[in-house]
Structure 1
Amino acid sequence: MLYTVLKSLHIISDIVWIGGMLINAFVIAMVPPTIRTGVITALRPYDRRVTTAGLAGAWIFGLILAFGYVGFSGGWLHLKLLIVVMLSALHGMQSAWLRRMEADPHLDPPAFVRVAMPIVLVSVVVVVLLAVVKPF
């Protein structure tokens, strides 16, 4: 019973975190400089409170599951953790660039941050496949 509750909380946290990252990616890449400041000013509190809480929940519940139930024996988990570390770093970069773009709306982030949407989507597909199929 506890395992299914923890797994559910992990998945819920993942959805909240990835949803927030996709919103950030959309705003960074698509919102024109003329309205950028207002949109980012509205988005940043959501990112700090909700998306970051989703990130923390994903890590906390994921590590509890890994240490308590799964173990670190599968190579699939190591690859999954590597991807999650990279997604966590990307979220940090998104947050930093949102702060910078709020201060200077004409500032453009590097390409890696601007194309975060496909990076996040492909990463999520790979992570889900690794967690479900456990290929190695």
Structure 2
Amino acid sequence: MLYFIIKALHVACDFIWIGGMLINAFVIGMVPPAIRTGVIASLRRYDRFVTTGALAGVWLFGLILAFGYVGFSGGWLHLKLLIVIMLSALHGMQSKWLRRMEADPHLDPPGFVAKGMPIVLVSLVVVVLLAIVKPF
């Protein structure tokens, strides 16, 4: 029973984290400089508490599942971990650029950060497929 509770908490944190990253990507890539300041100030508070907290939950519950229940026997898990590390790094870059863009609304982030939405979505699909299908 504990396994299913931890897995449910892991998945719930995944939803919150990915949702926060998509919101970040939308604001960074689509909101015009004229209205960025107010939007980014609110989003940064949300990102600090909710999205970053969910990221911590993803790692905590995911590592508990990996060490306690699944083990590191499948190659699918290694690829999944690599993608989650990349997404964690992207979240850090998004947070950094939100902070910079709040200070100077006319800054434009690099392409990897500005085009974060398709990166997050494709990564999400691959991670879900790996976790369900376990192809290797």
TM over 0.5: yes
Query: For the aligned residues, what is the CA RMSD?
Result: 0.3
TM-score (norm 2): 1.00
Query: After TM superposition, what 4+ stretches of structure 1 lie above 3 angstroms from structure 2?
Result: none
The answer for the alignment partner of 2:8 in structure 1 is: 8
Gaps of 5+ in 1: none
The answer for the alignment partner of 1:29 in structure 2 is: 29
C-alpha displacement of 1:43: 0.5
Gaps of 5+ in 2: none
C-alpha displacement of 1:60: 0.2
TM-score (norm 1): 1.00
Distance 2:107 2:68 in 1: 45
- Partner SS, residue 125 of structure 2: helix
C-alpha displacement of 1:3: 0.3
The answer for the alignment partner of 2:113 in structure 1 is: 113
- Percent same amino acid at aligned positions? 80
Distance 2:2 2:79 in 1: 25
The answer for the alignment partner of 1:19 in structure 2 is: 19
Distance 2:128 2:54 in 1: 17
Distance 2:69 2:111 in 1: 39
Report matched runs for 1:1-136 at 5 Å. 1-136=1-136
